[in-house]
Amino acid sequence: MDRPDSLSTRRAVLAGIGAVAAGSGVVYAGSQLGSDANDASSLADRVQFHSRAASTDFGIDLTGHPLMGSPDAPVDMYYWSDYQCPFCRRFERNAFPKLVENHVATGTVRVVFIEFPYLSEGSTTAAVMDRCVWRQVREEAPGRYWQWHATMFEQQGEKGSGWLARDNLLDITRSVDGIDADAVDACMRTSGAEIRSSIDADVERARQLGIRGSPGFVLYDRTSDRAGKLVGAQPYSQFDEAITKVQNA
């Protein structure tokens, strides 16, 4: 379903972001914690995780990124996050479970998980680890990525507390069933530089799209070639509205 990445298509998509964006302001203080990440985890059992070697109309190389949802879903949601970001955790606990239930599980939206480590060097360490976890599980048990991802946000500590130290992150990884922390550690040592370069490219692409922090989202209808951008821990209603707008544009 991904079309070849062409200059004319990219121009049309970038123009579409301004035309159909919904709620593009940052409302970090607007959400209230209430949903447990385990709710999202149970919902994720009903959706597919997969990988794909393709380039999107946004110039994002999907190789190496976890994808959640049907490969044929008409709407892509590119989701840039930082494991250090408290607002990403808020999104994961509040709006994300409803998005999974109402749009991903129903085959409308495919989520592309993309790292945006900008808060500290520890953020980058976690981002590289994320890629290594995905490399380990994507062929035989891709759903285990979600368990690790959700656990990381549940274990999130205060900035500067040291919780993002490599050894602590490996300890968290060891607590997740089906993840080989030693293999993840080896991946980080042998492929860390390559992965960092790829993450840098994703961050630069996000900035070109006007995303300066996390969480950041672009909702893109691959059929209509229209897109909308959301930034911050927006309530579910804003995502629901944006999805409807890009589908009806």
Domain span at 130: 7-74+86-248
Task: State how far the Cα of 169 lies from the Cα of 181, in Å rounded to an integer.
Answer: 9
pLDDT digits (tens, 9 = 90+) for 3-40: 323 222 333 444 344 433 333 332 222 222 233 445 54
- Residue 77 phi, psi dihedral angles, 5° rounding: -120, 105
pLDDT (tens digit per residue) in 116-139: 999 999 999 999 999 999 999 999
Least confident of 51-55, 56-60, 105-109, 157-161: 56-60
Dihedral Cα 86, 21, 145, 131, nearest 10 deg? -80
Q: What contacts 24, CB < 8 A, 6 or more positions away?
A: 228, 229, 230, 231
CA dist 141 and 145 (Å) reads 8
Q: Phi/psi of residue 5, each to 5°?
A: -80, 110
Instruction: Give the per-residue pLDDT at 41.
Output: 53
- Which of 176, 161, 170, 174 has its CA nearest to residue 189? 170
Residue, of 212 and 23, whose pLDDT is higher = 212
**Full strand arrangement of the beta sheet holding 49-50:** 49-50, 67-68, 109-115, 75-81, 216-221, 226-231
pLDDT of residue 173: 97
Q: Is it the case that residue 78 has pLDDT exceeding 90? A: yes
Average pLDDT of the residues in 67-83: 94
Residue type, 56: T
In whole numbers, what is the pLDDT of the chain averaged over residues?
A: 82
User: Is residue 44 in some structural domain?
Assistant: yes
Residue 182 CA to residue 222 CA, distance in Å, equals 39
CA 102: distance to chain centroid? 17
pLDDT of residue 203: 93
**Residues in CB range of 110: below 8 A, 6 or more apart:** 67, 68, 69, 70, 71, 73, 75, 76, 77, 104
Q: 231 lies in a domain?
A: yes
Q: Given a cut of 60, is residue 196 above it in pLDDT?
A: yes
Q: What is the mean pLDDT of residues 67-77?
A: 94
Asked if the model's pLDDT at residue 176 lies above 90, the reply is yes
Nearest CA among 102, 89, 82 for reference residue 28: 89
| Structural domain count of the chain | 1
* Strand partners for 216: 80, 231
Instruction: Note the pLDDT of residue 112.
Output: 96
Asked whether residue 138 is domain-assigned, the answer is yes
Q: Burial-class residue 152 by CB neighbours within 10 Å (0-12, 13-18, 19+).
A: buried
Is residue 239 one of the residues assigned to a domain?
A: yes
pLDDT score of 225: 85
Q: Which of 9-13, 61-65, 168-172, 174-178 has the lowest mean pLDDT?
A: 9-13
Q: How far apart are CA 232 and CA 22, in angstroms?
A: 12
Most confidently modeled of 4-8, 46-50, 96-100? 96-100
Band of residue 45 on the pLDDT scale cut at 50, 70, 90: low
Max Cα-Cα span within the chain: 48
For residue 4, the 8-state DSSP code is: P
| pLDDT over 90 at 54, yes or no | no
CATH number, position 109? 3.40.30.10
Q: Residues of the chain with pLDDT > 70: what percent?
A: 82
| Angle of CA points 244, 31, 97, to nearest 5° | 55
Residue 66 has pLDDT above 50, yes or no: yes
